[in-house]
Amino acid sequence: MADSNALIDKILSLQEKYMKLQEQLSSPEVVSDMKKFVQLNKDYKELEPVIKAGLEYKGMVEELAEAKDIMINEKDEELREMARAEIADIEPRIPEMEQKIKILLIPADPDDAKNAIVEIRGGTGGDEAAIFAGDLFRMYAKFAEVKGWKLEINDEAPGTAGGYKMVVFKLSSNSDGVYGTMKYESGVHRVQRVPQTETQGRIQTSAASVAVFPEAGEFDVTLDMNDIRKDTYCSSGPGGQGVNTTYSAVRLTHIPSGLVVQCQEERSQIKNFERALEELRTRLYNLEHQKYLDSISAQRKTMVSTGDRSAKIRTYNYPQSRVTDHRIGWSTYNLPGFMDGNIQECIDQLTIAENAERLKEAGEE
């Protein structure tokens, strides 16, 4: 009961903070300061599920205490039977609710709620690696379709035999935290199969790297346009004469950092500039974000999402129709379904593993 009381005290303390945030969000000085308003609104929304679960838990604890009191002090057998049924219903749910709240109380990655920029590059394996990079892009496109996310390609370099040497795209949603889901995909993906380019029927191992970045908002990074060099050129991608013969493609170079981004997917130079600027902002933000990932990976040696983009995270074995995620030892023997975008189960297992590690760390502190 002592643990229950401590948890309820924590919930009540957070509820008080929640109410103060509600008051602040309606004050004229906060409304007039957009940066502050965005941050406070984010804090407010993050507390909502904790408060909701916490108040439900508090009600369950109180109902359980009342039912137990009836069992001790009430002589009416009918009332005692009702209390006994209530205890049998509530008691098993209490530990589950406590676990849920403890996970909700773990500080979330501040970037989980953001949209994501994803970059896929063909690695070792030549043409086959580019074809596999294309397969991964199709897998994420199918997954985005199931989730109801919007996918926009920023830049691409097709492979000579199909697929992509490189493709950069944005995944966005008005409701879901895209980065919080997609962050587990960062790393090296390895494929074992007979390549389309192989005439002897030999199994070959190829690889592609996936990097997932949280999209930076306009309040996350302040860009000085004097630090950016803008170049325009003719798009080399598909799209017909209008795209390929006008200077619609945009390349931006951030002079202080040396970062270069480009976008050629739109007919409009203005739209390409806006999307390139968005990606540049994201990549600058991620220079700092990577420092954060490095700091947590130094503390969490077995962390599921350390952000180490050079680590081999998953193998796609076509002869055995098996996908194996090496971080948690999870496998499925439905490779065709997985490549059709059915990757949510794997992501769920990675989320569970990460939450378990973070709960363990929280208990050790």
What is the C-alpha R_g of the chain? 26
71 vs 80: CA distance, rounded Å: 5
Q: Report residue 61 as tokens.
A: 């604890």
Residue 172: phi, psi to the nearest 5?
-135, 155
Q: Which of helix, strand or coil describes residue 328?
A: coil
Instruction: Indicate whether 148 pLDDT > 60.
Output: yes
- In angstroms, rounded to a whole number, what is the distance separating the alpha carbons of residues 185 and 120? 10
CATH 1.10.340.30 fits 116-358, yes or no: no
Q: Of the candidates 167, 104, 99, 102, which has an alpha carbon nearest to the alpha carbon of residue 130?
A: 167
Question: What's the rounded Cα separation, in Å, for the pair 188 and 15?
Answer: 42
User: Residue 159 corresponds to which tokens in the numbers above?
Assistant: 């492979």
Task: Report pLDDT digits (tens) over 308-341.
Answer: 556 799 999 999 999 999 999 999 999 999 999 9
Q: What's the pLDDT tens digit per position in 289-314? A: 666 666 655 544 444 544 455 679 99
96, pLDDT greater than 70 = yes
The pLDDT of residue 311: 77
Full-model pTM = 0.67
Give the residue-averaged pLDDT of 191-208.
84
User: Could you give the residue range(s) of every CATH 1.20.58 domain in the chain?
Assistant: 2-105
pLDDT band at 14 (very low <50, low <70, confident <90, very high): confident
State pLDDT tens for residues 60-95.
999 999 999 999 988 889 999 999 999 999 999 999
Q: Which of 303, 306, 312 is nearest to 290 (CA)?
A: 306
Instruction: List where CATH 3.30.70.1660 sits in the chain.
Output: 116-358
Q: How many CB atoms lie within 10 A of CB 287?
A: 11
The three-class DSSP label of residue 264 is coil
Q: Could you tell me which of 202, 207, 178 has the C-alpha nearest to residue 190?
A: 207
Quote the CA–CA distance of 97 and 62 in Å, as a whole number: 14
CATH of domain 2-105: 1.20.58
| Residue 172, amino acid | S
> CA separation (Å) from 44 to 29, 34, 41, 54?
17, 15, 5, 15
Average predicted confidence (pLDDT) for the chain: 85
Per-residue confidence (pLDDT) for residue 309, from 0 to 100: 54
Beta bridge partner(s), residue 333? none
